[in-house]
Amino acid sequence: MTGAGRGIGAAVARLLVDRGAAVCVVDRSMSQLELWGNAPVARVAEDLSAVPSACRVVEAAERELGGVDVLVHAAGVLKRTPFFEVDVENWELHLRTNLRSTFFLAQECARVMRRQGTGGRIVALASDAWWTGGYDGSLAYAASKGGVVTLVRGIARELAPLRITVNAIVPGLVDTEMLRGQLSPVALARQAAAIPWQRPADPSEIARVVEFVVSDAAEYMTGAVFNVSGGLLTY
C-alpha cells in the first residue's frame, strides 16, 4: 500500500488492516509513516519517483509478508503551477512520481503474482483531472493521471490471463493535505461548489471503494475506471 503515510493511502491501509489483511505500508520516509505507531504492519520507506524503488518496495513487501496479492498505489504528488511557469523539473516530478511509478510497481507486483499463480489485484489512484485536464495549475498532474488511466486499461489486458485485475479509482475532491495544502480558500470553495454531493469525500469513502475492488466480489471487473466523485464527473 503506497502513500500510506497520510490521506487516502492511510485510510485504505487502515481499512485493510481492520479487515485482517497483512499490509505493507510504503511512503517516502519512515517519519512519514509515524502515524502507524506500533500497528502490526510492515513498513518500507522509498522515494517512488526513482525507478529502482519499485523493485525494492516489492521485494521488501514479499519478504515481509510472504507474498503479494494486492497492490494499491496511492502515493502521488500535486505541485500546482501556473501554465507559463511549468518547467521541466515540475513536469518530470509529476510524470515520474505519478505515472512511471505506476508502471514499474505494477510490473514488479505482477512478476510476484505470476510466480504465486493465484491471481491478484492492482489498483491505481488516478484523479478526475485525468478527464477534465485539471484546474488551478494542475496540468502536468492531470497529464500524469491521464497516463495512469491509459496504463490501467492496457495492463488489465496484459494481466487478465494471469487472473490479475487492474483498475483505476478516480476520486473527485477528497479532504486531504493534497486538496487543502495549495488551494486558496476561494479556489477551494469554487471547486467544492461544483460537486453535486455538496462536499469533498472523506478518505474513508474512497477506501471503501478500494475494499470492494480488491474483494472477491470484483473478480470480473478489470480495466475499469471507478468514478468516485460525488457526481462531479458523470460517466
Ligand X SMILES: NC(=O)c1ccc[n+]([C@@H]2O[C@H](COP(=O)([O-])OP(=O)(O)OC[C@H]3O[C@@H](n4cnc5c(N)ncnc54)[C@H](O)[C@@H]3O)[C@@H](O)[C@H]2O)c1
Task: Give the shortest CB-8-to-ligand X separation in angstroms.
Answer: 4
The half-sphere exposure of 155 on its side-chain side, counting CA atoms within 13 A, is: 27
Residue 220 catalytic?
Answer: no
Query: Segment contacting ligand X (CB under 6 A): 46-54, 105-113, 190-198, 207-215?
Result: 46-54
**By CB under 6 A, is residue 3 in contact with ligand X?**
yes
Q: Which of residues 113-132 bind ligand X (CB under 6 A)?
A: 125, 127
Of the listed pieces 16-24, 47-55, 115-123, 152-160, which binds ligand X according to CB under 6 A?
47-55
**Interaction pattern, residues 49-68, with ligand X; x per rule: CB under 6 A:** x-------------------
Opening angle at CA 19, ends 15 and 22, nearest 5: 90
Which of 135, 141, 220, 235 is catalytic? The answer is 141
Minimum CB separation from ligand X for residue 177, in Å? Answer: 4
Q: Candidates 73-81, 82-90, 131-139, 219-227: pick the segment binding ligand X (CB under 6 A).
A: 73-81
92 binds ligand X (CB under 6 A): no
Which range, of 76-84, 110-118, 132-140, 208-216, touches ligand X by CB under 6 A?
76-84
Nearest Cα neighbor of 54 from 96, 4, 106 is: 106
DSSP 8-state symbol, 67? S
Question: Cβ 118 to ligand X, closest distance in Å?
Answer: 27
Picking from 132, 155, 153, the residue whose alpha carbon sits closest to that of residue 143 is 132
- Residue 210 C-beta: closest distance to ligand X, Å: 11
The x, y and z cell numbers of residue 139, run together, are 496540468
The C-alpha cell at 208 is 471503501
Cell representation of residue 101: 511509478
Residues 6 and 174: their CA atoms lie apart, in Å, by 12
Q: Shortest distance, CB of residue 147 to ligand X, whole angstroms?
A: 12
Question: In degrees, to the nearest 5, what angle opens at C-alpha 202 toward C-alphas 61 and 156?
Answer: 45
3-state secondary structure of 102: helix
Query: Which residues fall within 8 angstroms of residue 68, CB to CB, at 6 or more apart?
Result: 58, 61, 62, 109, 112, 113, 116, 120
Contact positions toward ligand X, by CB under 6 A? Answer: 3, 5-9, 27-28, 32, 47-49, 74-78, 97, 125, 127, 171, 173-174, 176-179
Q: Mind telling me the catalytic residues?
A: 141
